[in-house]
Amino acid sequence: MRYHLAGNIPPKRHTIFKSPEDKFYYEQLFGTEGFHGISSLLYHIHRPTQIKSIGEPKDVTPKIAVEKNVAPRMFKGMNVTPEDDFMDSRKILLMNNDLKMGLAKPRKSMDYFYKNAECDELLYVHQGTGILKTFIGDLEFVTGDYLIIPRGTIYQVELGSDDTVFFVLESHSPIYTPKRYRNEFGQLLEHSPFCERDIIAPVFKEPVDEKGEFLIKVKKENQITDFIYATHPFDVVGWDGYFYPYKFNIKNFEPITGRIHQPPPVHQNFEGHNFVVCSFCARMYDYHPLAVPAPYNHSNIDSDEVLFYTEGDFMSRNHIDLMDFTLHPGGIVHGPHPGAMERSIGKKFTEEYAVMVDPFRPLKITEEALKVEDPSYKTSWLE
């Protein structure tokens, strides 16, 4: 992340700041990891603490169907059921103590506000357009955008259509870009597959100065609780810092290629505690005269591997549809389907796009996942 400033702020932090009408603005430190992690300072028209009521919590704990999995599996995302409500549409398919992931197919825009109070969120836009509205500004999104939403962000999603699909990842740790691509000052290095210009901060909007009753659904410890606040949460007159939601489009990722097949870490886009997120993008294939472009068989001893197929034709897999998830558990050898290696030889480029998540702790499989599983996948390598 890099420093960003928008709106009006005082010249010195933690000092008196007033409106032209001589009314106090109220400062809020917005950050994670105590007072050690990256943060921003927000300035509100009203105190952001004015709770009018708190409802009964609603339990949304995913129901685990398979606690310990050793089988390769495929889940047909096309068959995940859409829902009108944004939060109801989130179907968690895979999870462990570090993260949850799945699909969301909301059909209606949010008429309330939402805050995840314990997890950073990654929403990958598989299809659709809309606006992510936050308390520090708006991010218009299109197909292919990653929306990175730090925990504690209050937001709404306004949909451009009723067939939007998000790949959803919730992380119990902050989501960062890879540290190995940054120098000691935090700047992205020349060999990084993306640069600061590709990371888009919210467009600042004029603050909303309204009193009344404003519903913010707060998620924490697998419960969603309705908070009614006395003032509109988007009343920020200005902010600055390093901690904010942003977007990054997968087609701005510049693939790293070589004479022979490159390992998956060259595709890394994000990381959290005990997991990485990679972007597989359209790219030139390996250019050694005897190169085999298809990936080699590998075991992933220390991590599970999840691939979400989002665009194009995938040369290493047979019978893969867009929106499918494949899961290959750590320690079990996997590789191209029969014929895929042979088909790849001599090919010059690929137009495929996929999101890969490698968790370093085994994933558990939910009941929602089993509803859309293709049970034939585990034996699909037989010749």
d(CA 43, CA 135): 10
Does the annotation flag 298 for ligand binding? yes
Where are the alpha helices (H) located in the chain, listed in sequence order?
340-344, 367-371
273 assigned ligand-binding residue: no
DSSP letters, 10-60, are -SSTTS--B-TTSPBPEEEEEESTTTTS-EEEEEESS-TT-EEEE---EE-
Between the two ends of the chain, the Cα-to-Cα distance in Å is 48
DSSP state of 336: P
Flag whether 267 is marked binding. Answer: no
Catalytic member of 44, 191, 232, 261: 261
Task: Tell me how far apart the alpha carbons of residues 179 and 276 are, in angstroms, rounded to a whole number.
Answer: 11
- 267 as an active site residue: the answer is no
The Cβ of residue 30 has, within 10 Å, a number of other Cβ atoms equal to 22
> What's the CA angle centered on 3, arms 233 and 100, to 5 degrees?
60
Query: Quick check: helix, strand or coil at residue 181?
Result: helix
Provide the annotated active-site residues.
261
Query: Which positions make up the binding site for homogentisate?
Result: 334
